[in-house]
Structure 1
Amino acid sequence: MAVLADGLDFLKAQSFGSIVSLFWFVLIFDVPRYTLSFAAAVLRRRPVDMAPERLRSLGRISVVIAGNNEADVIEACVRGLWEQTLPPDEIVVVSDGSTDAMTARLRDLKREGLIQRAHGTALRAGKAAAINLAERLCSGDIVVNVDCDCLFDRHALQRIVQPFADPGVGTVCGNILVSNHSKSLVAGFQAIEYLISISLGKAALDLVGQVSCASGAFSAFRRSALRAVGGLDAGGGEDLDVTLRLRRAGWATTFAADAICYTAVPDTLSTLTHQRFRWERDAVRLRYRKHSDVLNPFAAGFRPVELVHQFEFLFFNVIGAAALPFYVVWLFATYGDLAPAILLAAQAGLFVVDTVVFLMAAHATPQANGLALMPLVPGYSLFNGVVMRMIRLAAYLQEWVVDASYFDPYVPDKVHKVRE
């Protein structure tokens, strides 16, 4: 306690310039993102819903779903889609090499008229390949891609289709909330993370035209645009990859904040770590290997606007994660016993900002049940600021050193070999 008291006395004695030099990490890597989130919350305007009859004039709407061993959840997903204020014209489902009862369940749902096209493959080819197959089987002008375990707000389809009234829009990203937030602390922290980073964060990116990933859990595509860029790549990170290709082709990507779906997230630290390793490794591979020419002003089709989201990810995600250990070492080397108090002060400041941002996000998205999540915000602030940054750093190191994304079992080994 004496150390903390000394630390507080030390902080009180600092000038504004000294405070800036002490907390440079927070000011550089956290404050700018929060500032844009504040702007999104203040400037956000809810779009006026277009009548379903008018939306029908945009063309046929096909929902495509692909999954592996999803027999337990597929029926709830399908039934929820037919309960929409704007139901789809058809639902096409592909069982990707499932070994459970999924394929049989699809036959039952097709007999009931709840699925128009159903197909089961003998071998697993991966989600991207299965979605490509489903897209070829469908007949819609707008293709909505959803995960098997997703449930939906009853206006979700209507609101994710609405932006296609603009002929320049190629893909629309839906708003994703967590359905199993009460299952564990880890799931609860992710519910807050999704609320802040998707519900508010993507709204902020949408303000400046920088939505760069239409999530594979719930997104919609103009079919002609999707086909023009060759569909989904059969590797991992297919949602980020196809969004980047659509953006490079000149199509706008937008975020429909009121198009809400609910998804189950990993509820243990080990499964969350595995998932985020895959996401972050794929992001590095796609952004800085496959699409590295986006950064080259001499490359064919160079678009300066694409530099923004590439550098945003590099600076705030990659460099931000790498800088944290150096910041901690620097604090202890420079301030010795006062370093813990300085770190606590930085975390306390982040907690205050996280709380404000969370409240703004919860107000903007009342479906998230923010009141139930509020007690978790202190733990989330520490978890997101330290644990998740270290997970990202480990993933980036794996990818840069050993190309780990090329060996991830999320994509079957035979697909990796063909892609090589």
Structure 2
Amino acid sequence: MSAMLDGLYGAIQTFGNLVAGMDHLDEFMLKFFPFVLLLELSFYLMIVLGVLKNAVMHTHPADDPVYFPRVSCGLLCYAEGKVVQLSIRSLVEQIYPGHIEILVVIDGAIQNHETTEAVMEMKDYVAQHANRSLVIVPKRQRGGRVSSLNTILELNSSEIVMALDGDTSFDNIMVRAAVRHFHDPNVVAVAGNLRVRNAKASIIAGLQAIEYMLAIHLSKIALSEFNVVNNV
């Protein structure tokens, strides 16, 4: 951690020295802006070309292969409270004939008692549906997102594993749409589209929805055409 902070401090100091060595801000902008313009325009040009290629090459939906393996949907939870129930419900109601294991990992379950109770309340609901199972893993101490991901990878019992956020709901064809790509043995990972649930709630939420569309949706469509999808 200290090494990272030292590196960040060094970068800020270098940037400050660069600005301080110039008499005027306009001089700095003239020297710095061309590099930003070159990098940004190249990236956006790549996105535009990728989206156009996708529109031309994928005008007709591909056939849906008969491929329904067991899927583990790992929900990463921390302090979602009752909201996590909507996430679990949207996974239970997937239009998918195969088995879906909903693996809920609650990070810091001691201090997040409300989230733990909300997940427990869904056990009977999940049990009423065929080919659906709910596994609850309350981690007493907070270990962070990476720790929760490792827990999902260790405990899952499926051919395909999905890492999902506990405050996210899903279209009812999400699992089917994602799994179908793995029918091709050359596919090792699939990234989905993310949209803002309450986009109409406020101007800020609406702007965030636009940002998600540009930075996530369109960029993933475009970059996938060049086999360089960035997924964090």
- Are 2:152 and 1:139 aligned? no
Aligned partners of 2:71 and 2:160 also within 8 Å: yes
- Are 2:207 and 1:189 aligned? yes
Deviation at 1:135, TM superposition (A): 2.9
CA distance in 2, matches of 1:27, 1:135: 41
CA distance in 1, matches of 2:53, 2:39: 23
Partner in structure 1 of residue 101 of structure 2:
90
Deviation at 1:123, TM superposition (A): 1.0
The higher relative CO (CA closer than 8 Å, separation ≥ 6) is in 2
Where in structure 2 are the equivalents of 1:180-329 lying within 5 Å?
180-213=198-231, 240=232
- Are 2:116 and 1:103 aligned? yes
Partner in structure 1 of residue 64 of structure 2:
50
Q: How many residues align?
A: 189
Deviation at 1:212, TM superposition (A): 3.0
CA distance in 1, matches of 2:152, 2:143: 13
CA distance in 2, matches of 1:71, 1:131: 20
Partner in structure 1 of residue 81 of structure 2:
71
- Are 2:155 and 1:173 aligned? no
The one-letter code sitting in structure 1 at the alignment partner of 2:104 is V
Deviation at 1:194, TM superposition (A): 1.1
CA distance in 1, matches of 2:154, 2:227: 30
Q: C-alpha deviations, 1:41-81, integer Å up to 9, x for none?
A: 22211542515xx121xx31111112112222111111111
- 1:163–1:182 distance in 2 versus 1, CA, 3 Å: same
The one-letter code sitting in structure 1 at the alignment partner of 2:62 is V
Partner in structure 1 of residue 5 of structure 2:
none
Where in structure 2 are the equivalents of 1:376-395 lying within 5 Å?
none
Q: C-alpha deviations, 1:90-142, integer Å up to 9, x for none?
A: 11111111323222222221233354211212211112212222332221100
CA distance in 2, matches of 1:49, 1:70: 37
CA distance in 1, matches of 2:40, 2:139: 46
Aligned partners of 1:110 and 1:118 also within 8 Å: no
Runs of 5+ consecutive residues of structure 2 not aligned to the other structure: 1-32, 128-132
SS at match of 1:203: helix
Q: C-alpha deviations, 1:306-342, integer Å up to 9, x for none?
A: xxxxxxxxxxxxxxxxxxxxxxxxxxxxxxxxxxxxx
Deviation at 1:25, TM superposition (A): 6.0
Pick aligned residue for 1:35 from 32, 36, 45: 45
CA distance in 1, matches of 2:146, 2:63: 31
Aligned partners of 1:85 and 1:154 also within 8 Å: yes
Pick aligned residue for 1:113 from 78, 102, 126: 126
CA distance in 1, matches of 2:78, 2:217: 28
The one-letter code sitting in structure 2 at the alignment partner of 1:34 is Y
The one-letter code sitting in structure 2 at the alignment partner of 1:38 is V
The one-letter code sitting in structure 1 at the alignment partner of 2:64 is M
CA distance in 2, matches of 1:107, 1:185: 35
User: Cα RMSD over matched residues?
Assistant: 2.3
When normalised by structure 2's length, the TM-score is: 0.72
CA distance in 2, matches of 1:113, 1:153: 18
SS at match of 1:172: coil
SS at match of 2:87: helix
SS at match of 1:145: strand
Aligned partners of 1:62 and 1:90 also within 8 Å: yes
SS at match of 2:43: helix
Aligned partners of 1:49 and 1:159 also within 8 Å: no
Q: C-alpha deviations, 1:370-395, integer Å up to 9, x for none?
A: xxxxxxxxxxxxxxxxxxxxxxxxxx
Partner in structure 2 of residue 324 of structure 1:
none
Would you tell me which structure has more helix in proportion to its own residues? 1
Aligned partners of 1:61 and 1:140 also within 8 Å: yes
- Are 2:94 and 1:80 aligned? no
Partner in structure 2 of residue 158 of structure 1:
176
The one-letter code sitting in structure 1 at the alignment partner of 2:119 is L
When normalised by structure 1's length, the TM-score is: 0.42
SS at match of 2:192: strand
SS at match of 1:55: coil
The one-letter code sitting in structure 2 at the alignment partner of 1:41 is V
SS at match of 2:230: coil
- 1:134–1:34 distance in 2 versus 1, CA, 3 Å: closer
SS at match of 2:166: coil
